Amino acid sequence: MTRVRLLRLLSFASAIFVIGSFALLMGFIFYHGAPMLNIKLFFGDTAPIDAITGARPAWDGIWPAFAGTLYLIGLTMALSLIPGIGCGIYLARYASGRRKEALSLAVDLLASVPSIVVGLFGFVLILLLRRTLAPDANTCITLAAFCLALLVMPSLVVVTRSSIEGVPASFVLTGTSLGFTEYQLLRHVLIPAAGKGILGGIMLAMGRAAEDTAVIMLTGVVANSGLPAGLGSKFEALPFHIFYTAAQYVDQNELLRGFGASMVLLILSAGLLCSASRLQRAMEKRWEGVK
């Protein structure tokens, strides 16, 4: 009985520690960053419409970094969604034997690669292209998105595979007995039933792409580069902006803007989670036949 009480006490203390650490971190950032949440934080002294359209640079605002982060997330997901989900479906439904083992091992190894190594790979890739096929190749937002896609793809593969393998076998048997083709089984049974898990993995991947700093530091992010001019241009991003401000700030106001940028990044991540939750509920209602 004493051991049970001790285990219960340790579990309770662990839960309190996790909740307390989270509350302390969020409270610290909120205390310093919340007062900075205003239009000036985004656009500085530049008119909002001029900053959004790129007519004038917003030197004292985080709008270029915010826009660059959104641009980076969209491009990363465009490069990683189809390969990641497709590979997960292949592992769950079609791969077998040594092929499945080898592919699963490759996914696990890719998932274990540190983000700084992925960034270094992107940097070396550009050096290789300069010496061979493209002498004018340079680091840019496309390279950063490609490297981030490599970073988040393993989680998409694992989540998709686990979600599809977790669908009850009775669903598959029912669809097969009704004469569904393999495509119809995937389209109307397996993917909708596993959609909640897959969607959660997508949102986690988007959050990882939004917050990672090590990869983009070596693949194209530059302070004060302004709005991305195209797929081959340099860019700004919120995580690097926060890092750069913390390392190079010259006065208290600039440091507070860094806390404001941290709040914006947290709100962006929370928005992704809320969107995932709403989409999950909508998918569950559609699956259950509730309008």
What is the gyration radius of the CA atoms in the chain, in angstroms? 23
CA dihedral 112, 129, 82, 271 (to 10 degrees): 70
Q: Which pLDDT score is estimated for 49?
A: 87
According to DSSP H, which parts of the chain are helical?
A: 2-33, 39-43, 48-53, 63-93, 97-111, 115-131, 141-165, 169-177, 182-185, 191-211, 214-217, 238-248, 252-288
The answer to whether 39 and 176 are in contact (CB under 8 A) is: no
Close Cβ partners of 231 (under 8 Å, ≥ 6 residues apart): 75, 140, 141, 142
Q: How far apart are CA 123 and CA 255, in angstroms?
A: 30
Per-residue pLDDT of the chain (291 residues; tens, 9 = 90+): 577 888 888 999 999 999 999 899 889 988 888 888 888 888 888 888 888 887 788 778 889 999 999 999 999 999 999 999 999 999 988 888 888 899 999 998 988 888 999 999 999 988 888 888 878 888 889 999 999 999 999 999 999 999 898 888 888 888 888 888 888 888 888 888 888 788 888 888 888 888 888 899 888 888 888 888 888 888 999 999 998 888 888 888 888 888 999 999 888 888 877 777 777 677 666 656 544
Q: Which pLDDT score is estimated for 81?
A: 92
Name the residue among 165, 148, 172, 144 with its Cα closest to residue 84. 148
The answer to whether 259 and 29 are in contact (CB under 8 A) is: yes
The answer to whether 236 and 177 are in contact (CB under 8 A) is: no
The answer to whether 81 and 160 are in contact (CB under 8 A) is: no
Q: What is the pTM of this model?
A: 0.86
Close Cβ partners of 269 (under 8 Å, ≥ 6 residues apart): 207, 210, 211
Helix (H, G, I), strand (E, B) or coil at 231: coil
Name the residue among 52, 53, 75, 72 with its Cα closest to residue 62. 52
Name the residue among 241, 239, 252 with its Cα closest to residue 32. 252
